[in-house]
Amino acid sequence: MTQNNIGWNFQNSYLKLADIMVSKLPPVPVKNPKVVLYNAQLEQELGLNFSSLDEQEKASYLSGNTIPEQTTPWAEAYAGHQFGHLTMLGDGRAVVLGEHIAPNKKRFDIQFKGSGVTPYSRSGDGRAALGPMLREYIISEAIHFLNIPTSRSLAVVTTGEDVVRETILPGAILTRVAASHIRVGTFEFVAAQKDINTLQELIMYCIDRHYQELKGQKNPALQLFRAVMNRHADLIVNYMRVGFIHGVLNTDNVAISGESIDYGPCAFMDSYDPKTKFSSIDQQGRYAYGNQPIIAKWNMARFAETLIPLIDVDLNKAIEMLEEEVNEFSKIYINKSLEMMRNKLGIKGGVEEDSLLIKELLTWMQNNKADYTNTFVSIMNETFDQPVYQDQAFQECYKKLRIRKPNRETMRKNNPLVIPRNYQVEDSLKLAHEGNFESVASLLSVLRNPYNNSNNIKQFQDPGPASSIPYQTFCGT
């Protein structure tokens, strides 16, 4: 089978930007690649066809050992505010194979994560361990089927090589598919160069690639900022809807496309508590569940700072305009969040007491350590077989809700029956390290239908046994 029969259709527009934006280089070859997880559905959506390749050829393409002739891989330069501090970064362990045009004419970056040393590796080995790559595959697929914009995963390939972290771990490469890998940190990198021409080019490129509805409008930098801010308000509202905690919302992990990207120490909340965090490196709870809207606004302020020179020739006026825009985020988010919670409860807007009703329910959930996902499912299905629901405060809250005659169909569209339960993710990763990937496949099959009732999902709805040891996740670098 020739490489053209695979279906690749590369048109690498990002390479037309300034040379400082990228370093052109191929992935570092690996010893013995083997495909252990493959997304056949995504393959079909991308218009690809690996089915006629033997397993060795397939693994060679999906590890970066074999590079299609019609593309030139590259690593991207970017900066990022990591826990509030600006750092020059870049793809230290990832290489974009190219921009593939799917049959629906959409453009996707195909990126290898864990593909070896690049000029941005900063003394790192550029590799990735199997566990974090499987976690990203599982979580990104779950987020996609929860109807949240996200990068996705095409494959996980083991490399036949070990990586050394706290212990020796099996190495792996993830093939990630994203609308692009342009980040707020990309703009921070360009702004740090004080290169106005490249900044202008980047703005117009982002409009052309992600926001074509803005073409021809006055003040494109301001229009782009508004569009990106609105998409990220939507994204964070969706995180809050399903109880997702990204874990590391640094500006280098904030995609201009509005997709969720870079799944490291991420996890889903069980018992409702706004202070919930899992990341081992987030000691102060900067990226805790309830802080995500605040951090999103902070990140948008950093994005705004990069655009100042192109907003207005009067810099003071430009700053004033952008401050006004950033301050709109809170209002935009509050309105979107209120509508989201109304949808979870199946009630129509326009009632002033809605905010109080929602706060009352969430306060009860927090005080009683009620499971976030299952509580909304119980309300939706009117199944109150757990003792916690006999609490008087809940009964009074539910009585107020019933007066509003909740719409069950609206609730079904907004309340998942299943999420990736943390202990089940960990169990499947442990088995995968032992060479058994059946548990990962079983978990994925359920997560791909989070809103549909099924007889085999009850075990996946169980939040698991209580533990005195707080659950922790790790970034996997």
Could you list the active site residues? 252
Non-local (6+) Cβ contacts of 97 within 8 A are 10, 27, 64, 67, 68, 71, 73, 110, 111, 112
Residue by residue, what is the 3-state secondary structure of 272-294? CCCCCCCECCCCCCCCCHHHHHH
Alpha helices in 276-433 (DSSP H): 292-307, 315-345, 354-367, 372-381, 392-403, 408-414, 422-433
250, amino acid identity: N
Q: What is the CA radius of gyration of the chain?
A: 23
* 3 close to 133: Cβ distance less than 8 angstroms: no
DSSP-assigned letter for residue 228: H
What's the rounded Cα separation, in Å, for the pair 342 and 241?
11
Q: Which of 62, 156, 43, 61 is nearest to 108 (CA)?
A: 43
CA dihedral 169, 175, 178, 180 (to 10 degrees): 90
